[in-house]
Structure 1
């Protein structure tokens, strides 16, 4: 059931809002309205400040950054902040980069809020994997090249086995899938070596950093060149790695992706 975000009640509620990949113009109208109506906004590290600026002047802005390799706010503390504020009657927006339910820990947060009896809504955002490949003028699926797409994380939860890259590569080859890898730069060497067990060494790859922003950088190479290309071009997080035959046109043309027109950059 949909809730009217403008209604107030004795108990507050939380809205998990996807801020999109970075470009403020890619924010949905529904997300914009939720931000403007919030009394408390909990902001992720990668959210563009131009999006945070849409909040009303009286709103309390709390930065709860979570980023691989950097000092992060504990997830349990973020969940406690949301629950406490909502139970105090606040209209809370949890503002997350991309989409809350694609590697955004939105599922964990929804479970915590439900357990505390807090009403929660979700507003989707454009995930970085879609914005990244679109900026190169390339689709994620194509009847001639890719029958599906897999979104996968390159950063395993501590203590877990992580992605079985060999099995994924075999499936991608057999089913003709595009792989979109989030948080994979630091583990690029392992990802490359494992994927090569199931995918040809000349499989096209694109690495896109800061998708949709004026600072976006990218490179196109083969799977065998993934690690060396990242090092040579000094690409870093946040980056998306795209693997698959949908990139064949760029690779075959010898295009330097750094010179491609970017369709979703902010003005």
Structure 2
């Protein structure tokens, strides 16, 4: 079964726009769990413009499902994650000023660095996933890092889906098959939505987890959070 992990960064963005604690990030996370989400994802950035490091600490003792922290493995990020000990850490190659994730790792160039980081997190019992594109060489070298999983960066799929969905899914199927053949677990995320999620899942049903934030929180404005989570889970049946 493919798990749905809800990225709650956008909830924190709304809160931070006015200060205070409305909406309450922790309560939204607990509601997501109550409504059927199997995980919560956060991406704390150095400027704390949405999820703050304090939010990560507040969430850890409350969550009953899987906790996934994603981010660039800077010294501060590594220290935070190793202290909090989530179920999973997802390594992304974002520079600090990035608005959102826009590329996967060049695992060939950064092989030795990623090996060290992966081993460091695994040494304290944290599952590691590497954010990656569909370049097959990058997936081959991701396996060489010792990572447990890779997360396919799905924005290109989402962009091309309305124009030619068969062409859009093809490189992701090839990448997913290679990852599976290499013994890697498989996650997926970025711009997945009610429009395109079911089609991806139809062709790659062995995805372990999808992480969805922007589209899901936007849909919740129209359908409500509970109904929205049910709609997303239905796409994964």
Give yes or no for TM over 0.5: no
Q: Which has a greater percent of helix?
A: 2
- The higher radius of gyration belongs to 1
TM-score (norm 1): 0.28
TM-score (norm 2): 0.31
